[in-house]
């Protein structure tokens, strides 16, 4: 089955700096890669996603890149703000149900 | 419109008791997923429903876990003879279509289950 690995597990940056989170996946059939942000005690919220027919997608301060050959994808947050502090999860779809297999999460802390 | 809702938000039970967790997906969404999130961990797939098709139960950890979806809408996850290792947040998600598996999954707020 699919295996998604996510690094780093914790990341601290100064406000205004950039943050990068990286994930790798194992199933070459995966074709959808969402990123979710989860604040403490809240539900996961989709922040950006990418499908395998594109290599990069941007939405304001957030961008995601996908390298299908190497089976890795990354989240880039520029001009970080304290409200960006949360746990971020990458995921890849797989299996007969096209369920999401999640990475283990990255606790991002943006220091004011 | 209304998002995915789940009830109860919190459930405390004693070891050995049965529990039922409910999920109301977004209206019109044909695909429904259950995931489990243990403390400080990522989400783990449990079961999937698509329309009137037989559910995909490949993620259920044991035969104590079961789920049903009535009328293609509301779903109930049942855990029988609960164990302490069942303690987790149970999250439900729905998506408009599952074809190709690239539709956005929208999550509910979850049910925090604590087994004493």
Q: Which residues of chain B from 72 to 91 reach within 8 Å of chain A, CB to CB?
A: 91
Token pair of B95 as six digits: 């998506």
The CA-CA-CA angle for residues A74, A77, A79, to 5°, reads 155
Mutate to test the interface with A, among B35, B37, B43 (most CBs of A within 10 A): B43
pLDDT at B39 over 70: yes
- B27-39 average pLDDT score: 92
pLDDT in tens, B40-71: 788 999 999 988 888 899 999 999 999 999 88
Q: How far does chain A reach from its first CA to its final CA, in angstroms? A: 41
B41 Cβ under 8 Å from any chain A Cβ: yes
Phi, psi of B74 (to 5 degrees): -65, 140
How far apart CA A39 and CA A88 sit, in angstroms, is 9
Token pair of A45 as six digits: 């919220």
Q: Parallel, antiparallel, or unpaired: how do β-strands A62-67 and A10-14 relate?
A: unpaired
Question: B26: which DSSP letter?
Answer: P
How far apart CA B39 and CA B47 sit, in angstroms, is 20
- B17 to chain A, minimum CA–CA distance in Å? 25
pLDDT in tens, A48-107: 999 888 899 999 999 999 999 999 999 999 999 999 999 999 999 987 778 899 999 999
Q: What is the pLDDT of residue B1?
A: 58
Write down the residue that tokens 């109301």 correspond to.
B24
Token pair of B71 as six digits: 């009328």
Token pair of B80 as six digits: 């029988």
* Cβ(B75)–Cβ(B22) below 8 Å: yes
Mutate to test the interface with A, among B101, B103, B104, B110 (most CBs of A within 10 A): B101
The CA-CA-CA angle for residues A87, A97, B59, to 5°, reads 70
pLDDT at B99 over 70: no
Beta carbons of A31 and B50 less than 8 Å apart:
no
B52 Cβ under 8 Å from any chain A Cβ: no
Q: How many residues are given for chain A?
A: 112
Q: What is the pLDDT of residue A75?
A: 98
Question: Out of B45, B104, B107, whose CB is closest to A49?
Answer: B104
Q: How far is CA B13 from CA A9, A41, B40, B76, in A?
A: 32, 20, 21, 17
pLDDT in tens, A16-44: 999 999 999 999 989 899 999 999 989 99
Phi, psi of B86 (to 5 degrees): -80, -10
- A3-16 average pLDDT score: 97
Q: In chain A, which residue's Cα lies nearest the Cα of B95?
A: A99
Q: Parallel, antiparallel, or unpaired: how do β-strands A62-67 and A72-77 relate?
A: antiparallel
């Amino acid at each position: 089955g699919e295996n998604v690995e996510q690094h780093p597990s914790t990341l601290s940056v100064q406000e205004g700096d950039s943050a990068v989170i990286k994930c790798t996946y194992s199933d070459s059939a995966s074709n959808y890669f969402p990123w979710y942000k989860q604040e403490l005690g809240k539900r996961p919220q989709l922040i950006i996603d990418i499908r395998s027919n594109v290599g990069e997608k941007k939405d304001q301060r957030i961008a995601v890149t996908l390298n299908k050959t190497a089976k890795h994808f990354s989240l880039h947050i520029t001009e970080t703000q304290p409200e960006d502090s949360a746990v971020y999860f990458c995921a890849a779809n797989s299996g007969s149900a096209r369920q999401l297999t999640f990475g283990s999460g990255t606790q991002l802390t943006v220091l004011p | 419109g209304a998002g995915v809702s789940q009830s109860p938000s919190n459930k405390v039970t004693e070891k050995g008791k049965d529990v039922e967790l409910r999920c109301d997906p977004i209206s019109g969404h044909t695909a429904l997923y259950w995931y489990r999130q243990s403390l400080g961990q990522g989400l783990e797939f449990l079961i999937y429903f698509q329309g009137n098709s037989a559910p995909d139960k490949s993620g259920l950890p044991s035969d104590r876990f079961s789920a049903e979806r009535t009328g293609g809408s509301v779903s109930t996850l049942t855990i029988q003879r609960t164990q302490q290792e069942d303690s987790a947040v149970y999250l439900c998600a729905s998506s408009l279509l599952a074809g190709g598996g690239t539709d956005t999954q929208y999550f509910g707020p979850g049910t925090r289950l604590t087994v004493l």
